[in-house]
Homo-oligomer: A and B are copies of this chain.
């Protein structure tokens, strides 16, 4: 029973590699998960909420609403934006946004390391663990 070679975690890897998605739920509603983290990453990369949303096939409205949710949940905004400004609505992460995103990515890494054995064990019990492409 040889394990399939793992290219590494997450997105870049072959689609059959098991992938952990972690959502932190605070209280009854506030939460941080893969979608918001990827949106923050996209804003950081593109300098635009609209472009970051588009890259995730997310409507502008949805992207804005997630940003507003995050900005309201934390001690200060995670995303600073000039909506409809001269540059057509540029955006970037605040220091707080960078910190939250970094903590979340570190958390993902820590979980992936800590869980690798169990993920492998569950993966090995799948019907087509060997035949997936």
Question: Per-position contact with B for A101-126: 1 when CB-CB < 8 Å, else 0?
Answer: 00110110011011100110111011
With A75-B127, A110-B115, A127-B75 as contacts: A24 and B122 at CB distance below 8 Å? yes
With A22-B21, A111-B22 as contacts: A125 and B104 at CB distance below 8 Å? no
Judge whether A100 is part of the interface by a CB distance below 8 angstroms: yes
**Does the CB pair A75–B22 fall under 8 Å?**
no
Q: What residues on B are CB-neighbors of A25 within 8 Å?
A: 18-21
Judge whether A28 is part of the interface by a CB distance below 8 angstroms: yes
- Number of A interface residues in the complex (CB < 8 A): 41
Q: What residues on B are CB-neighbors of A127 within 8 Å?
A: 72-75
**Does the CB pair A118–B110 fall under 8 Å?**
yes
With A15-B28, A16-B26, A27-B16 as contacts: A107 and B126 at CB distance below 8 Å? no
**Does the CB pair B18–A20 fall under 8 Å?**
no
**Does the CB pair A20–B16 fall under 8 Å?**
no
